[in-house]
Structure 1
């Protein structure tokens, strides 16, 4: 990186950089100074939601920093004093990077501006434990993909022919469907078990009732930071410049409702009842040190889906399940984002190639992330092979699918040298269906 802003940006990734906030220097902390993820929060003392950045066990109030004259963003109004990140994101990548550089400098161990001003620190910092975290963006649209070869192969083997598990188009393009943006919720929001039509094997017609095969899908999602005009596709090589950052995503799935309804048009009620995302958006800049090559693609994609370089990221992911009343959760899956066959850039290029216009804040889900081994599958459908092999829990119980009262937690992080860039957690507790 040759120009000044890029040199400054590169310095924010220095693994040796430390913060004067001691908790941020803990090797197990999700939010070191190298991360600086964006979110929206409020407190009991100040109910107005505003933009913050997580650092150690603290939230830095960006609205307060702007008002104090310590943060410049190229806008006269305080875009951080708003209940969603959209207005800030819309300022563009130069603004995102400038704010990252300024925050990294302010929080660095050697910088005294905030460190030595107790009154200012009192105005700017809130303990993470005392913050209420909100949906970080207003989401105009939501699309979910199906981009893990292992997941698609497992599902195809289970419900079709194992010898022809992947349909012919799967290896040619990122398969996706338009989901329901209105039911995307932030971590911590309870999830109601859905009702719907169920086709039982011993009955000619479907019955109506509560989902009996409720499942999770371990995914990540990315947030659109720059849109495109209707009719003007985003080139694959340029696509990452349109991405603000990533979140963890649990695309809750009603497998029995889905199996009956998905032919001929795909998921509908089986997916539209809830999708949970984590509250902190980790920027692509923070993930840059963890860039790796994606799996080899055969056949070679068509020209519009080609990009040079490495476009996967080494993100460790896990799923934990804790039954109601249990003192301890059971880790039921450990996998990695690097297994994804289709990259985020390819997903975005394909989504727009016909002329679809993306908008700031749009959410695109990766699809279930499964690895090559049974302990790295990203859904209970795969882990238990449709409940034929229930997973054992630490309290002695088992699960084929999710039961009422179960708490599901997704976690994710990139492991650096002496630090980790984490996403925090994505949590949901299942409530009984409406009777």
Structure 2
């Protein structure tokens, strides 16, 4: 449900991405107080949530005590709603300005951290355009989509221990590759890529053996963040048959420092593309307003915009991904993260990976500074940002996820 937006006594521009309609959660520290703690972004400031709640709403203090979002995630939907309602009320009622003022920190003075402890990580393959593009490259002359693709959200289980926060440098991975001449070698990836994605952050867990119904998506998913699932395409191409992605993906995945609560995305909900095959009941979202999302991403390479993917065209929604993720009885844990897979649109400038933008390296991408890229070079920096429509013409911002490529370390002998 879309609710009317409110105005803050902080006198923010109506279109500020971190306005009262957004209120994303993260973890920050400062030079004067180096301990990580939970914060809420508002304009160009960060509200020290633990300090504010401790003073103004002590019964909820334990849920936001930090040093991460873990306790808030585990507290469940009622606590999420209570905290968001309180923060909204405090920031829109000028009588709180003096009491909250001491708990507001300029964002420029803060260091942002990985916002929660990642329990498990699953990555999906939910964009029909992305799957079709890769199918055309990898299986020319055949149907680009595999027979199962429109019947279930395809995914793989990733490596939670290599999820890193925005700004973490990414060391070029080494691995085994097969050259065009058939020679098998080991060395630095020469086809290092990005994948612009959305990530869904699980708050409350579920019991082993009990699938989570598609209608219960908002009871378990706390919010959404940005994801860059770095990919070594040459390593991936040699290893992925028959079991799928492994070392070509597991070296690093970056996430944004701010988690936008699901409650902020009511105005961004849209109907996903029409399904062209019947869905089994556990994936059928016709009985409830579906969870397609009008989220617009922007991908920058060394400061140049190279793509503007649109999430509203994704074939599978976050609710369907969650239902499929647990359909076999797999349990959820607080801090589970599952990502959408590369977000790509119908137009060339909406492709969310370099392998698509350069069509497998055959069509180098020309940047405004005159340089070209097929895949990432050492020193390249990638920044992914996103926004969505909020109530009454406001903007919901997701912040950004960034990472810079460092040269490979000496490969093992």
TM-score category by the smaller chain? over 0.9
How many Å separate the matches in 2 of 1:52 and 1:116? 18
Please, which runs of 5 or more residues in structure 1 have no aligned partner?
Answer: 2-9, 323-328
Q: TM-score, normalised by structure 2?
A: 0.96
Report the secondary structure of 1:239's partner residue.
helix
**Alignment pair present for 1:218 and 2:202:** no
**Structure 1 counterpart of 2:278:** 300
1:415 positional shift: 3.0
Instruction: Look up the SS of the partner of 2:308 in the other structure.
Output: strand
Give, in angstroms, the shift of residue 396 of structure 1.
1.0
Alpha carbons 2:282, 2:323 under 8 Å: kept: yes
1:147 aligns with 2:126: yes
CA–CA separation in structure 2 for the residues paired with 1:162 and 1:370: 22
Q: Where does residue 398 of structure 2 map in the other structure?
A: 423
Contact kept in structure 2, 1:221 and 1:246, CA below 8 Å = yes
Shift of 1:163: 4.1
Q: Distance in 1 between matches of 2:393 and 2:215?
A: 32
2:232 match: 254
Is it true that 1:312 corresponds to 2:292 in the alignment? Answer: yes
Residue correspondences, number: 407
Q: RMSD over aligned Cα, in angstroms? A: 1.4
CA distance in 1, matches of 2:236, 2:253: 15
Aligned to 1:48: 35
Structure 1 residue 161: deviation in Å?
A: 3.1
Gaps of 5+ in 2: none
Q: Distance in 2 between the 1:337 and 1:243 partners? A: 18
1:7 corresponds to = none
Superposed displacement of residue 89, structure 1? 1.4
Q: CA deviation at 1:25?
A: 2.7
Could you tell me which residue of structure 2 aligns to residue 376 of structure 1? 350
Q: Determine the structure 2 residue equivalent to 1:80.
A: 64
Q: Which SS does the other structure have where 1:39 is aligned?
A: strand
**How far 1:383 moved relative to its partner?**
0.7
Residue 98 (structure 2) aligns with: 116
Residue 347 (structure 1) aligned with residue 327 (structure 2): no
**Counterpart in the other structure of 1:394:** 368
Preserved CA contact (<8 Å) 1:151 1:369? yes
Cα offset, 1:99, TM superposition: 0.7
Q: Which moved more, 1:40-49 or 1:231-240?
A: 231-240
Deviation at 1:26, TM superposition (A): 4.6
Specify the alignment match of 1:270 in structure 2. Answer: 248
Q: What is the deviation of 1:19? A: 0.7
Deviations 1:242-291 (A, max 9, x none): 11000000000000000000011111110000000000000111011111
Residue pair 1:19, 1:25 contacting (<8 A) in 2 also: no
Structure 1, residues 113-162: CA drift from partner, whole Å, max 9, x if none? 2x134xx512x011111111011110110000001000000000100035
Whether contact under 8 Å (2:300, 2:384) holds in the other structure is: yes
1:332 to 2:320 alignment = no
Partner of 1:25: 13
Quote the residue 1:433 is aligned against.
Answer: 408
Counterpart for residue 14 of structure 1: 4
TM-score w.r.t. length of structure 1: 0.91
Indicate how the Cα distance of structure 1 residues 84 and 162 shifts in structure 2: closer, same or farther if over 3 A, else same: farther
Q: Distance in 2 between matches of 1:131 and 1:78?
A: 23
Which runs of 4 or more aligned residues in structure 1 lie more than 2 Å from their structure 2 counterparts after TM superposition?
77-81, 415-419
CA distance in 1, matches of 2:328, 2:393: 45
Does 2:53 align with 1:66? yes
Report the Cα offset of residue 18 of structure 1. 1.0
* 1:112 alignment partner, SS class: helix
Which SS does the other structure have where 2:321 is aligned?
A: helix
